Amino acid sequence: MSERTDLQGRHILLGLTGGIACYKSAELVRLLTKAGATVQVVMTEAAAAFITPVTMQALSGRAVVMSQWDAREPNNMAHINFSREADAIVIAPASADFIAKLAQGRADELLSLTCLARPRETCPLLVAPAMNREMWGHPATQRNVSLLEQDGTTILGPGVGDQACGEVGDGRMLEPEQLLEDIVAALAPKVLQWKRILITAGPTFEPIDPVRGITNHSSGKMGYALARAAREAGAIVQLVSGPVHLPTPRGVHRTNVMTAQEMYDVVLPLAAQSDVFIATAAVADWRPATLSEHKIKKEGKKVAPTFELTENPDILAAVAQQANAADGVPYCVGFAAESEHLLTHSRAKLQRKQIPLIIGNLGPATFGRDDNALLVVDAQSHHALPNDGIAVDKLTLARALMLELAKRLAGQPRSLQS
């Protein structure tokens, strides 16, 4: 599968201020360019004490600029030229001193001058703090951060953990991969701004005894991609996940469950507070009627043990019943993982669950994979996603589904936000 180019055609101005976290900025430049962006690095004098302009120029492919008096700009207005060219300005790392400078509107060197001169409607400012935990927690810093947020600045982080000074706590700059995810999200169209979206993902695990259980091959990758895409689209996202080995998407609240009953108990109250419910999880239909207290031992027996099964609660049907009694809120989207006759089985599930939308896919062909092809089915029609039916990566599919969902929600009579 080809590499993702989420920032293709975008131009990022990356500002570096004084701090040991400048070493992470080198990797961030690499990730940004790999994602398709062009990057102009602007450094303060203090930043150059931690990493050389030569390094940043080699990685970005552009000359690094440090002075507002740089004569290479024909009009000697680097702060105007750079801010008009940029799709976003990212300050990473942002020191406590530089955050104070931004909050006060001071502009005594090129980077702060460029931030002040940017067109706020078209060039967002993203600030990734990096400092000692005491500096981050100081009331002055917190006031300055609050002022920046009031002015529309997006604060990325900070993270928590080991610090260069030997202390541990808040104030670490986020890792480059996390910053990249946040930058992509900041530039994405907000087609679902403030919508509350509840998503289930992954398999469930129904224990037979303390070490064995009934489960399936679901990796959770599609559900997690949907959660990330929904957050990028501006939604407030709740993810209820069965047991998977995947990191939580940035900005998403995750609740872990194990069994179908646990998922049901978590989902039903949340669904009543949601605009959209997307049931991506592969929930076990059945569970053992009784749980063995201890591991069932073989001990030379020639006959396999037997156990009675009982039906699990139908989470999607229960939420759909709530929705149908509440003017269609939440808007319910089901997933159908089939092995054959995809359209027939998907449409049957749509009617059986009494929901407006089903997303069908061939489960054996996609479980555990990073790509997929989907079939979007409603009561009147169906179409392939992507249009040519050729599998693409799941995040691309998830983003396309968010656009599809936004169009459908635009025709809904009401939502929790109206």
| Angle formed by the axes of helices 221-232 and 176-187, nearest 10° | 60
Look at the block and give the residue holding tokens 């201020």.
17
Q: For residue 84, how far is the Cα from the chain centroid?
A: 28
Tokens found for residue 273: 């507070």
Instruction: Look up 165 and say whether it is catalytic.
Output: yes
Q: Pairing mode, if any, of strands 159-162 and 213-214? A: unpaired
Listing DSSP states for 296-351 in one string gives PP-TT-SS-----EEEPP-HHHHHHHHHHTTTT-SEEEEEEEESS-HHHHHHHHHH
Rounded to an integer, what distance in angstroms lies between the CA atom of residue 145 and that of residue 140? 9
Rounded to an integer, what distance in angstroms lies between the CA atom of residue 402 and that of residue 235? 10
58 residue type, one letter: A
Tokens found for residue 223: 């559900």
Other Cβ atoms less than 10 A from the Cβ of 297: the count is 9
Angle at 104 between CA 99 and CA 105, to 5 degrees: 95
Look at the block and give the residue holding tokens 């939308």.
357
Provide the greatest CA pair distance for the chain: 88
CA atoms within 13 A on the CB side of 206: 21
Rounded to an integer, what distance in angstroms lies between the CA atom of residue 407 and that of residue 107? 43
For residues 383-395, b (16+ Cβ closer than 10 Å) or e, as one string?
Answer: eebeeeeebbbbb
Partners of 358 in the β-ladder: 334, 377
Q: Catalytic site residues?
A: 165
